[in-house]
Amino acid sequence: MTDEAAAFVPGHVTGFFSVHRAGTPAKTGSRGAGVTLADGVTVRVTPAAERTVTLNGRDASVPAVGHVLDALDASASVAASTDLPVGAGFGVSGGMALGTALAANGAFETGHSENELVGLAHEGEVAAGTGLGDVVAQARGGVPIRLDPGAPPHGQLDGVPATGRIEYVSLGELSTADVLAGSTARLSSAGVRALGALRERPTIEGFVRESRRFAEEADLLTPEVESIVTDVVEAGGEASMAMLGHTVFALGHGLTDAGYDATATRVHDAGASLTGT
C-alpha cells in the first residue's frame, strides 16, 4: 500500500441529454454531449481508520463516493478540492466519485483497470441519482459525445474535435436529483433530436446551438439564465445553459463580450488521471 494517491478530474458541463434507464446502473445512463473543463476536481485519498469525505475542507455527503469506497473495501480519508461552483452543473459529484476511484485504486493497489474504475464511479452516481453521464465524459476529456448510455463496455463515446476557451457564469444550484426524479419524456425527446443533429455535423459551435435549442424545447431555461444566453447571442456569441445548474456557458469571450463578469477556463484535452507524485 502506498501512503496516499491523488487524481484530477476535469469539470463537465452537459449541453443536452436524454435519459436511458436499464436493468442495472452500469447500463443506465444518458446520451448527449458536453464539454470538459480545465477547471476540475482534485481528489486525494489517504488510508485512514475512519472514513471521512471533505470538499474544500468541509465535511461533504457524497453518496457516490461512499459507493466507490465500499466497492474497493477502502477505509480512507477523501479530500476533494475544486474552484468550480458546487451543485451548478459542473459535474463536481461525478468528479469526486471518479477521482476517489482512481486515487483509492492507487493508494490501496486494488488492481483495477481504468474502465472498471469508471464503472464503479458511474454506478455510484446512477444509484445516488446525482448523475447519468458526467463520469464517462470526465473519464474521456475533450468535448465528449455520449452515443450510447452507461459505463464501459456498454457506453460508447465519440468527440467533437475542438479545443479553446470556455467562459461561464453561475447563478446558483439546481438539484439534478429533483429534475431526474420528474418526468423526463419531453426532455429526452429533445435530447435525442439534438444528438442526431450534432452527429450530422460535429462542431463545437453546433454543439452549443443544439444545446440552446434543447434547453428551450425541454423547457429548462430559467428567466435569468435565458436573459444572459440571449445577451450573448445578440452580441454575436454562442452560449447555453449547463445541464443541470443555474449556469450559463459560452464559447471564447462570449460572456465578457456581452458585458458579463465571467470565469474563464478551457476545454480540457485529457480525461481524468492520477496526478504524479
Does residue number 196 form part of the binding site for a second copy (CB under 8 A)?
no
Residue 276 C-beta: closest distance to a second copy, Å: 5
Residue in the block written with cell 465519440 = 158
The binder of a second copy chosen from 56, 189, 203, 227 (CB under 8 A): 203
Q: Do 103 and 43 form a contact (C-beta atoms < 8 A)?
A: yes
Residue 240 C-beta: closest distance to a second copy, Å: 20
DSSP classification of residue 243:
B
Q: Do 152 and 237 form a contact (C-beta atoms < 8 A)?
A: no
Residue 124 C-beta: closest distance to a second copy, Å: 17
Cβ nearer to a second copy, comparing 10 with 91: 10
Residue 68 C-beta: closest distance to a second copy, Å: 13
Q: How far apart are CA 104 and CA 96, in angstroms?
A: 12
Q: How far apart are CA 59 and CA 69, in angstroms?
A: 16
Inter-axis angle of helices 92-108 and 63-72, nearest 10: 20
Q: Which three cell numbers stand for residue 50?
A: 475512519
Stretch that binds a second copy, among 56-64, 80-88, 157-165, 214-222 (CB under 8 A): 157-165
Total residues interacting with a second copy, rule: CB under 8 A: 37
CA atoms within a 13 Å half-sphere pointing along the CA-CB vector of 239: 32
Residue 113 C-beta: closest distance to a second copy, Å: 4
Does residue number 175 form part of the binding site for a second copy (CB under 8 A)?
no
Residue 273 C-beta: closest distance to a second copy, Å: 4
Residue 153 preceded by cis peptide, ω within 30? yes
- The footprint of a second copy on residues 46-75 (CB under 8 A) is none
Does residue number 223 form part of the binding site for a second copy (CB under 8 A)?
no
158 membership: H or E segment, kind and range: strand 156-159
Which residues form the interface with a second copy (CB under 8 A)? 102, 105-106, 109, 111-115, 117, 141-142, 145, 152-153, 156, 158-165, 199, 201-203, 266, 269-271, 273-277
